[in-house]
Amino acid sequence: MSGAARVPRRLLLCGLGALLLAGCAQQPPRIAAASHGGARWSGRLALQVEDAQSQSFSATFDLRGSPERGELSFFTPLGSTVARLEWAPDAATLHTDDGARSFESLDALVRHVTGTPLPVPALFRWLDGQQAVVPGWRADLSQAGTGRLTAYREDPLPPAVLRVVLDR
C-alpha cells in the first residue's frame, strides 16, 4: 500500500479510537442535537499503536449521531476534511478524496479501517454517561470532568494508547 493510501486509513484508525476513548467520559460536553438524531462531540485525539512500526497519529474529529445512525469526520490542522464515515442500520460508507466506499454495516467499516472490531454501541453508551464493559480496553477516567481521557487497548493486539481532549 502506498504512503498516500495509508494516511487516510491511519487518520480513520485514530478517529475510531477516539470514539472509544471519548465514550469513557462520565459527563462529556454535549454540543447540540445532531442531524442524525443523536448528540455531537468534537475534539482532538492522538493514538499510538505499539506494533512493529510503533505508529502515532493525531487528528481533530467531529462525531454525530448514535450507534444506529451517525457520522464521524476527521480534519487536518487547517480544518479541511480528510475523511468522513457515515452509517445507518443497513449500510456504512467511507468518504475520502478518493471517493466513497460502501460497507454492509458499521462493524464491517470499523474492521476495514482499524483491522479489528470496536464496540460502537458501548462507545455511545459511554458518551451518554452510562457504564459499559468492553473486554480488552481499560479507560482512565480520572480527568474526564475536564474532557481529557486516556484509554489503553490491551486485547486484541497490538496494544494501543488513545488520548482525547474534548472541546468545551
Q: What is the CATH number of the domain that holds 93?
A: 2.50.20
Mean per-residue pLDDT, 95-115? 87
Report the predicted TM-score, pTM, of the whole model to 2 decimal places.
Answer: 0.73
Q: What is the DSSP string of 144-164?
A: GGGTEEEEEE-SSSSPEEEEE
What's the pLDDT at 147? 76
Q: How far apart are the C-alpha atoms of 142 and 32, rounded to whole Å? A: 25
* Rg (alpha carbons) of the chain, rounded to whole number: 15
Residue 75 has pLDDT above 90, yes or no: yes
Beta carbons of 42 and 55 less than 8 angstroms apart? no
pLDDT tens digits, residue range 18-60? Answer: 444 444 433 333 333 344 567 888 888 877 888 877 777 788 9
Closest alpha carbon to 17 in 151, 166, 157, 165: 151
Mean per-residue pLDDT, 83-112? 92
Contacts 24+ apart (CB under 8 A), 28-35: 28/127, 28/129, 28/144, 28/147, 28/166, 29/147, 29/166, 29/167, 29/168, 31/167, 34/64, 34/65, 34/70, 34/71, 35/64
Mean pLDDT score of the chain, rounded to an integer? 75
Q: Identify the domain containing residue 120 by its residue range.
A: 3-166
Which tops the pLDDT comparison, 161 or 124? 161
Mean per-residue pLDDT, 102-121? 77
Number of domains forming the structure of the chain: 1
Residue 164 has pLDDT above 70, yes or no: yes
What's the pLDDT at 31? 35
Q: What is the DSSP string of 117-138?
A: ---HHHHHHHHTT-----TTEE
Residue 5 has pLDDT above 60, yes or no: no
What's the pLDDT at 110? 76
Contacts 24+ apart (CB under 8 A), 89-96: 94/12, 96/8
What's the pLDDT at 21? 43
Which residues, listed in sequence order, are joined to residue 47 by a DSSP beta bridge? 57, 162
